[in-house]
Structure 1
Amino acid sequence: MSLSTVRRLTCTRCGAGYDPDREIYTCPEHEGVAGVLEVEYDYAAIDDAFDADLDGVIPSQWKYAAFLPVADDAEPVTLGEGGTDLLDAPRLSDRLGVETLIKDDGRNPTGCFKDRASSIAATKAKHRGRDVVTCASTGNAAASLAGYAARGGLDCRIFVPSDAPAGKLTQPLVYGADVLAVEGTYDEAYDLSVAVTESYGWYNRNAAINPFLIEGKRTVGHELAEQTHVRGRVPDWVVFSMGDGCTIAGAWKGFREFADLGYVDGTPRMLGVQAEGAAAIHGAVQRHGRGGEGTDDGEDGADGEDDSADGDDTAETLADSIAVGRPRNAYKARRAIEESGGASVVVSDEEILRAETLLGSTEGIYAEPAGAAPVAGVRQARRQGIIGPDEQVVVTVTGFGLKDGESARRATGGLDRIAPDISEVERRYGPAESGTSVL
Structure 2
Amino acid sequence: MNHVDTLECTLCGETYDPDQVIYTCPNHDGVAGILGVVYDYDRIAECFDEPLDGAIDSQWKYRAFLPVADDVEPVTLGEGGTPLLDAPRLGDELGVDLRVKDDGRNPTGVLKDRATSVSLTKAREFGREIVTCASTGNAAASLAGFAARGGMDCRLFVPGDAPEGKLAQPLVYGADVLGVEGSYDEAYDLSMEVTERFGWYNRNAAVNPFQVEGKRTVGHELAEQTREDVPDWLVFSMGDGCTIAGGWKGFREFRDLGFVDEAPKMLGVQAEGASAIHDTFQAHDDVEEVADTVADSIAVGRPRNTVKACRALEESGGDSVLVSDEEILAGEALLGRTEGVYAEPAGAAPVAGVRKARQEGIIDEGESVVVVVTGNGLKDTESAMRAAGEVVSIAPDIQDVIERYE
Tell me the TM-score normalised to structure 1 length. 0.92
1:73: Cα distance to partner?
1.1
Amino acid corresponding to residue 267 of structure 1 in structure 2 = A
Q: In the alignment, which residue of structure 1 is the partner of 2:235?
A: 239
- C-alpha distance in 1 between matches for 2:49 and 2:360: 41
Q: Is the 1:4–1:72 contact (alpha carbons within 8 Å) kept by the matching residues of 2? A: no
CA displacement 1:275-295 (0-9 Å, x = unmatched): 0000000001101xxxxxxxx
1:87: Cα distance to partner?
0.5
* 1:71-90 alignment, distance < 5 Å: 71-90=69-88
- C-alpha distance in 2 between matches for 1:165 and 1:83: 28
1:51: Cα distance to partner?
1.2
* 1:385-400 alignment, distance < 5 Å: 385-400=361-376
- 1:413 is aligned, of 384, 389, 399, to 389
Q: In the alignment, which residue of structure 2 is the partner of 1:337?
A: 313
Q: Say whether residues 1:33 and 2:63 are aligned partners.
A: no
CA displacement 1:136-155 (0-9 Å, x = unmatched): 00000000000000000000
- C-alpha distance in 1 between matches for 2:272 and 2:211: 27
SS, match of residue 226 in structure 2:
helix
* 1:220-231 alignment, distance < 5 Å: 220-229=218-227
Q: In the alignment, which residue of structure 1 is the partner of 2:10?
A: 12
Amino acid corresponding to residue 17 of structure 1 in structure 2 = T
1:429: Cα distance to partner?
1.1
- C-alpha distance in 2 between matches for 1:397 and 1:233: 20
Q: Is the 2:50–2:61 contact (alpha carbons within 8 Å) kept by the matching residues of 1? A: no
Q: Is the 1:52–1:263 contact (alpha carbons within 8 Å) kept by the matching residues of 2? A: no
Amino acid corresponding to residue 249 of structure 1 in structure 2 = A
Q: Is the 2:237–2:349 contact (alpha carbons within 8 Å) kept by the matching residues of 1? A: yes
Q: Say whether residues 1:373 and 2:349 are aligned partners.
A: yes
SS, match of residue 270 in structure 1:
strand
1:419: Cα distance to partner?
1.2
1:220: Cα distance to partner?
0.3
1:297: Cα distance to partner?
4.8
1:52: Cα distance to partner?
5.2
Q: Is the 1:159–1:190 contact (alpha carbons within 8 Å) kept by the matching residues of 2? A: yes
- 1:359 is aligned, of 335, 338, 343, to 335
Q: Is the 1:161–1:182 contact (alpha carbons within 8 Å) kept by the matching residues of 2? A: yes
- 2:127 is aligned, of 119, 126, 129, to 129
Q: Which aligned runs of 4 or more in structure 1 are off by greater than 3 angstroms?
A: none
Amino acid corresponding to residue 272 of structure 1 in structure 2 = G
Q: In the alignment, which residue of structure 2 is the partner of 1:188?
A: 186
Q: Say whether residues 1:118 and 2:94 are aligned partners.
A: no
- C-alpha distance in 2 between matches for 1:26 and 1:386: 35
Q: Is the 2:234–2:266 contact (alpha carbons within 8 Å) kept by the matching residues of 1? A: yes
Q: Is the 1:209–1:328 contact (alpha carbons within 8 Å) kept by the matching residues of 2? A: yes
Q: Is the 2:3–2:43 contact (alpha carbons within 8 Å) kept by the matching residues of 1? A: yes
Q: Is the 2:272–2:323 contact (alpha carbons within 8 Å) kept by the matching residues of 1? A: yes
- C-alpha distance in 2 between matches for 1:365 and 1:329: 28
- Structure 2 unaligned segments of length 5 or more: list them: none
Q: In the alignment, which residue of structure 1 is the partner of 2:20?
A: 22
State which drifts further: 139-148 or 409-418: 409-418
Q: Say whether residues 1:259 and 2:247 are aligned partners.
A: no
SS, match of residue 134 in structure 1:
strand
Q: Is the 1:146–1:175 contact (alpha carbons within 8 Å) kept by the matching residues of 2? A: yes
- C-alpha distance in 1 between matches for 2:380 and 2:73: 33
Q: Say whether residues 1:167 and 2:165 are aligned partners.
A: yes
Amino acid corresponding to residue 298 of structure 1 in structure 2 = D
State which drifts further: 48-57 or 368-377: 48-57
Amino acid corresponding to residue 406 of structure 1 in structure 2 = E
- C-alpha distance in 1 between matches for 2:260 and 2:61: 17
- C-alpha distance in 1 between matches for 2:120 and 2:209: 14
Q: In the alignment, which residue of structure 1 is the partner of 2:44?
A: 46
Amino acid corresponding to residue 396 of structure 2 in structure 1 = P
1:390: Cα distance to partner?
2.4
CA displacement 1:315-356 (0-9 Å, x = unmatched): 000000000000000010000000000000000000000000
Amino acid corresponding to residue 299 of structure 1 in structure 2 = V
SS, match of residue 337 in structure 1:
helix
Q: In the alignment, which residue of structure 1 is the partner of 2:89?
A: 91
Q: In the alignment, which residue of structure 2 is the partner of 1:293?
A: none
- 2:140 is aligned, of 139, 142, 161, to 142
Q: Say whether residues 1:299 and 2:295 are aligned partners.
A: no
CA displacement 1:31-89 (0-9 Å, x = unmatched): 11010001000000000000153111011000000000011211101000001000000
- Structure 1 unaligned segments of length 5 or more: list them: 288-295, 301-312, 431-439
Amino acid corresponding to residue 217 of structure 2 in structure 1 = T
CA displacement 1:207-256 (0-9 Å, x = unmatched): 11001110000000000000000xx1111000000000000000000000
Q: Is the 2:21–2:126 contact (alpha carbons within 8 Å) kept by the matching residues of 1? A: no
Q: In the alignment, which residue of structure 2 is the partner of 1:322?
A: 298
- C-alpha distance in 2 between matches for 1:414 and 1:16: 55
SS, match of residue 281 in structure 2:
helix
Q: In the alignment, which residue of structure 2 is the partner of 1:108?
A: 106
SS, match of residue 380 in structure 2:
helix
1:122: Cα distance to partner?
1.2
- C-alpha distance in 1 between matches for 2:195 and 2:354: 39
SS, match of residue 157 in structure 2:
strand
- C-alpha distance in 1 between matches for 2:366 and 2:388: 31
- Give 1 or 2 for the bigger CA radius of gyration: 1
SS, match of residue 29 in structure 1:
coil
- 1:280 is aligned, of 268, 276, 279, to 276
Amino acid corresponding to residue 386 of structure 1 in structure 2 = I
- C-alpha distance in 1 between matches for 2:51 and 2:161: 47
- C-alpha distance in 2 between matches for 1:319 and 1:427: 38
1:127: Cα distance to partner?
2.0
Q: Is the 1:85–1:103 contact (alpha carbons within 8 Å) kept by the matching residues of 2? A: yes
